Structure 1
Amino acid sequence: MTTRPLDYSFTAPIEKDGAFATFVTVPGSAELLGTRRPVRIGGTIDGHPFTATLMPSGAGPHWLPIKQALCKLIGKSQAGTEVSFHLAERLS
């Protein structure tokens, strides 16, 4: 599948719970992506490039897991800390 451009920005608090050590909930993601399945995306987190797989929460929006290396890079890992995202492309 070829990549498709996205242009979606949001700010969300870091969450820590369940299957992913550190993640954020992507508001409106099921509507934005047209699916409740896993979707690989690329973009920026606090201005730093990243790729990740959005995981369906089962209740609507997707969860975006944040790898520990990215948490260190942006200097944020505490639950409740606000992080800014820009989703630039859909990779799957």
Structure 2
Amino acid sequence: MKKQTSIANIKAILKTDPGKGAWTYFVWDGVGAAFGSRQAVKVRGKIDGHPFENAFLPLKDGTHLMGVNAKLRKLIGKGTGDSVSVEIIGKI
């Protein structure tokens, strides 16, 4: 089987805004360059080696955020303020 080429490899810091029920997420400014879009972009990839499917959601400043759910955070053993390695493999 042919190995897939990554679209991007990102080092990101997990963030959480204050407030009950707040998302844990990371921000990436490369969505426009990688996908030619300022809209939401559904992707698949790996965070710290664990597969995911999710969407980058646009922010007003031109960057995009992606939420990281509790199940994946527990699996990778990371939380707010921790660094993660994100490999984007492709669009969904």
Q: Per the shorter chain, which TM-score range?
A: 0.7 to 0.9
- Aligned-residue sequence identity (percent) comes to 30
Structure 1 gap segments, 5+ residues each: none
Q: Which has the higher strand share?
A: 1
Kept after mapping to 2: 8 A contact 1:53/1:64: yes
Please provide the CA RMSD for this pair.
1.8
Aligned to 1:11: 11
- Offset at residue 21 of structure 1 (A): 1.1
1:1-80 superposed matches below 5 A: 7-17=7-17, 21-77=23-79, 79-80=80-81
Aligned to 2:84: 83
- Offset at residue 14 of structure 1 (A): 0.4
Aligned length: 86
- Offset at residue 27 of structure 1 (A): 3.0
Work out the CA distance in 1 between the residues paired with 2:77 and 2:7: 25
Normalising by structure 1, we get a TM-score of: 0.84
Following TM superposition, the consecutive aligned residue runs of length 4 or more in structure 1 with deviations greater than 6 angstroms are none
Q: Which has the larger radius of gyration?
A: 2
Work out the CA distance in 1 between the residues paired with 2:8 and 2:38: 17
| Higher mean C-alpha displacement, 56-65 vs 38-47 | 56-65
Residues 64, 20 of structure 1: alpha-carbon distance in 2 compared, 3 angstrom cutoff: farther
Normalising by structure 2, we get a TM-score of: 0.84
